[in-house]
Homo-oligomer: A and B are copies of this chain.
Amino acid sequence: MWTVKVVGLGLVALSLSLEVLVWVVRRRRPKNILNEVLFFPSEITCTEAIFTPSLHSCLCTLPHGVETSFSRLLCHILSTSSSLDLCVFAFSNMDLCRAVLALHNRGVVVRILTDKDYAAITGSQIGVLRKAGICVRCGVKTVYMHHKFVVIDGRLLINGSLNWTVTAVQSNMENVLITEVPKLVQPFIKEFHRLWEQSDPSAYLRSGDQNPAQNRNDVALFS
């Protein structure tokens, strides 16, 4: 009888410890954090099915149903559910413009920071986005706002060498890094907020200037 009790108690102690072990392992298991890298140029394919998933067939002559770097990028952007903070030097790609407009139309809060000079060049989609009611702010006048990053829903960072142009997507050798690692995403959220506040037209119009950095001395503000 005593032997049964000994073995029983031993088993209880063991099973309790195993339960604690499983609990600890589960708690410490790293969550599925997205990390992905895309390289360009991307193959030119039909993107219609990405914008209209219910579409059954498309008559255009481009390849269909092919996953490319660009289609992956578009899918990530279209996956936005609440906010999209875009900070990009040049924006002339019409597919990417269509994606941003689609987000805006479905109620996503879109904010765009871009370069003042490049916003005005032929083919820029910045005017189209502004006309649609999207809030766009421009960087200071005398230095390039050369970033190419997006923060999606305050959790996903897309960053790299790729400007949002057709040439960058279809011709150049470029990269895009996509990550949810908080230590990489958080500084970009903070920097976007800083630049957004700094580019507030009401702030520098109140001060009587057209722009807070009319000369190179003001560059120090951004260091």
Contacts and interface: CB of A to CB of B under 8 A. Distances in A.
Interface stretch (A77-85, A103-111, A141-149): A141-149
A214 interface: no
Contact of A171 (B143, B168, B188): B143
Nearest to A9: B10
Contacts of A37: 183-184, 187-188, 191
This chain's copy number in the assembly: 2
B161 A173 contact: no
B183 A171 contact: no
Contacts of A161: 89, 146-149, 159-161
B174 A147 contact: yes
A46 interface: no
Interface string A185-222: 00110010001000000000000000000001001101
Contacts of A13: 10-11, 13-14, 17
Contacts of A43: 220, 223
Interface string A127-155: 00000000000010001111111000000
Contacts of A172: 143-146
